[in-house]
Amino acid sequence: MFNEVLEKIRNMFFHDIAIDLGTTNSLVYVRGRGIVMQEPSVVAINQKTGQILAIGEEAKKMVGKTPSHIVATRPLISGVISDFDVTEQMLRYFIEKARTKQFILNPRPRVIIGIPSGVTEVEKKAVSDATKNAGAREVFLIEEPMASAIGARLPVQEAGGIFIVDIGGGTTEVAVISLGGLVLSKSLRIAGDRLDQDIVQFAEQEYKLLIGPRTAETIKIGIGSAFPLKEKKEMPMRGRNLVTGLPEEILVSDEEIRGALGKSVRQIISEIKSAIEETPPELLADIMGSGIYLAGGGSLLRGLDVLIQKEIKIPTKRVEDPMTAVVRGAGMVLEELDELRDVLVEKEYLEPPR
């Protein structure tokens, strides 16, 4: 009873945070409150003064619309920090915004950050250092496929094989999980952003039309697919004609866009096949029964689950609310840190538990 009261008092003051620090979007979970923020991982900087003008949604609105001295940039590439100082500023913004409207006595929070499974020790340390500099008193790292599986409420601590594919903005994470650890993992730097780039290249090569990544993303969401649809879809694609220099609108079909995305989709499926081939037989038997789970925003591509099931011959299903799976999983670990500490990445540079 005393311990429960002590925990409630502690929770009033220590608002620990979980962050899915994505290449495209970042999500923030506050212990006891759930997901409180979902914003683009974009920062707008005045290059003349070095001043940060906007972060998140406001910065994304500036992409492609700023004067030459203002740059709207993503400080992460393929889930890895490419600009340490800007990432630190973005993390500080997320942490401070998550801690607003709290008590005057508001200690620095503990923070759990989701990272791709394929990052190096140097890259892990960069994430940890940037988070500490941004205001965290203690930092824990969790690999994204593990966080996704926990967020999907899969039994990660049991002695059975769980096969999960997390398709984010910068990376596709393929992992087999058993007994609270990654038995094998693969990280492919082909994901949502690459699919957008495929559409940009298709427009240029097929129609000599220059479009931006935001237009490409809109088309991908609107009519993009990995498997033929029951009903044909079409959508206008607007850009600048590279021959005339004038604005032009082209009507494109779902079949054309599916063809544009085909190479990248096949590479993702090839990575899944490779992981299946390396999975221990006993775990593979479990996976054939439970199936392949898809998470991440990229898994929302129409028909992707159908195509994977057709190619791999294993039942494939999308987890509930796949875009928030990583941050929900990291948040669940945050809520039960003592019980789930073993699923975290343990590194020497992290401070010991207090």
Q: Helix %, strand %, coil % for the chain, to 5?
A: 40, 25, 30
Do 22 and 71 share a domain, yes or no?
Answer: yes
Note whether residue 348 is domain-resident. Answer: no
On the 0-12 / 13-18 / 19+ scale of CB atoms within 10 A, 309 is middle
Note whether residue 191 is domain-resident. Answer: yes
Do 291 and 159 share a domain, yes or no?
Answer: yes
Does residue 348 carry a pLDDT above 60? no
Residues spanned by the domain of 191: 154-319
193 close to 170: Cβ distance less than 8 angstroms: yes
Average pLDDT over residues 88-93: 90
Note whether residue 83 is domain-resident. Answer: yes
Average pLDDT over residues 77-105: 78
Q: What is the number of other CB atoms lying within 10 angstroms of the CB of residue 6?
A: 10
Does residue 354 carry a pLDDT above 70? no
pLDDT tens-digit readout, 128-161: 999 999 989 899 999 999 999 999 999 999 988 9
pLDDT tens-digit readout, 321-347: 999 999 999 999 999 988 888 899 865
Does residue 103 carry a pLDDT above 50? no
Mean of the per-residue pLDDT values for the chain? Answer: 88
Do 143 and 181 share a domain, yes or no?
Answer: no
Note whether residue 350 is domain-resident. Answer: no
Note whether residue 106 is domain-resident. Answer: yes
pLDDT tens-digit readout, 52-78: 888 888 888 877 677 778 888 888 887
Rounded Cα distance between 330 and 226, Å, is 29
Do 329 and 309 share a domain, yes or no?
Answer: no
What CATH number has the domain bearing residue 94?
Answer: 3.30.420.40
Note whether residue 103 is domain-resident. Answer: yes
Residue closest to 134 by CA, chosen among 70, 75, 49, 69: 75
Do 17 and 142 share a domain, yes or no?
Answer: yes
Domains held by the chain: number: 2
Do 88 and 174 share a domain, yes or no?
Answer: no
Do 227 and 88 share a domain, yes or no?
Answer: no
pLDDT tens-digit readout, 35-52: 999 999 999 988 888 888
Average pLDDT over residues 94-112: 74
pLDDT classification of 11: cutoffs 50, 70, 90 = low
Do 303 and 332 share a domain, yes or no?
Answer: no
Rounded Cα distance between 122 and 180, Å, is 24
Do 199 and 284 share a domain, yes or no?
Answer: yes
Q: What is the pLDDT of residue 349?
A: 41
Do 172 and 130 share a domain, yes or no?
Answer: no
Does residue 96 carry a pLDDT above 80? yes
Do 103 and 251 share a domain, yes or no?
Answer: no
